[in-house]
Structure 1
Amino acid sequence: MTIDELHDYGLMTMNDGEINGFLSSQRTGVLGLPAEDGPYLLPLSYGYDGDERLYFTYLVGSRSRKAELSEATDIARFLVYKVDTMYNWESVLLTGQLTPVPEAEWEALEERLSDVWRPAVLESAALSGELSIYEFRIEEQTGIKHQGLPPSLEPDRE
């Protein structure tokens, strides 16, 4: 079924304002990068500028597949989703360009990245590891949501 056909079951397309609000309220998603052996999927936390850019902090070692693939790709995708119940969820898919941010510009991003959620193990490792920051410039965005029962399951209100 297409998204349009699913509207009959209560699925709604999100407008730009709803997408912006959703991205602002979330902190994690899944980055998809093209790789020779299939898509490379990576759960990441992010900072959002409230408009058209996300920022990712990578913990890298002497060799990092995510950094290598990020720098080699022209187009990446990032999926942010939230599921409360089977009848209440939201999903935003972003397509855009991913580029490393020069270290000289990191201080300007400090506020955007200050409230980014990170697992405790990565916070600890970051104290002794090498970091990189990447900017994801949003070129396309689509969002869908379902909030409430599908019309066929709604109680009659006669």
Structure 2
Amino acid sequence: MKEPKEHIDNIKVRRDFFQKNFDLKIGLQRTDVNSAEVLKNSCPVCGYLTLDERNAFDICGICFWEDDGIDDFEENEESGPNHMTLKEGRLIFQEAKSKLLNTKFNDNNLIEKLKNSFIKLDNFINQNNSTNEIIKLQNEILDLLTKNKVYGIEKLFSK
């Protein structure tokens, strides 16, 4: 029997992709053509475009990190609103995402939909595909999480 493919989350690749394809302007807000409709800035924990503005205490809809401005250069400093370091937040997210992506067939339709959506989204990012398709897939994930009141993907496995 063939072993399941390990899914390794690469936040650096994801954040670099978004940084190259979605320029920032003064005030740390994006300058995309339809910026009001596009999720704006890369979350420092999960790397997806979920923050309207950096350092504005926005909460990421995917990993539920409250952005207090801490980033790579201070990843070992305690984040007040999150009660952990950025490094710890990333580890929690990566473990939850790995568990999600490595889950075999599951009766839970939400988990299957999220798993398939994350795999497709990350493949599109890795292949530098259309930014419109990437935003659409990311919005689908956010909608699934919001509608099902999942506040961070690690919550899928804490029941």
TM-score, normalising length from structure 1? 0.24
Normalized per residue, the structure richer in strand is 1
Larger Rg: 1
Structure with more relative contact order (C-alpha pairs < 8 Å, separation 6 or more):
1
Higher helix share: 2
Normalized against structure 2, the TM-score is what? Answer: 0.24
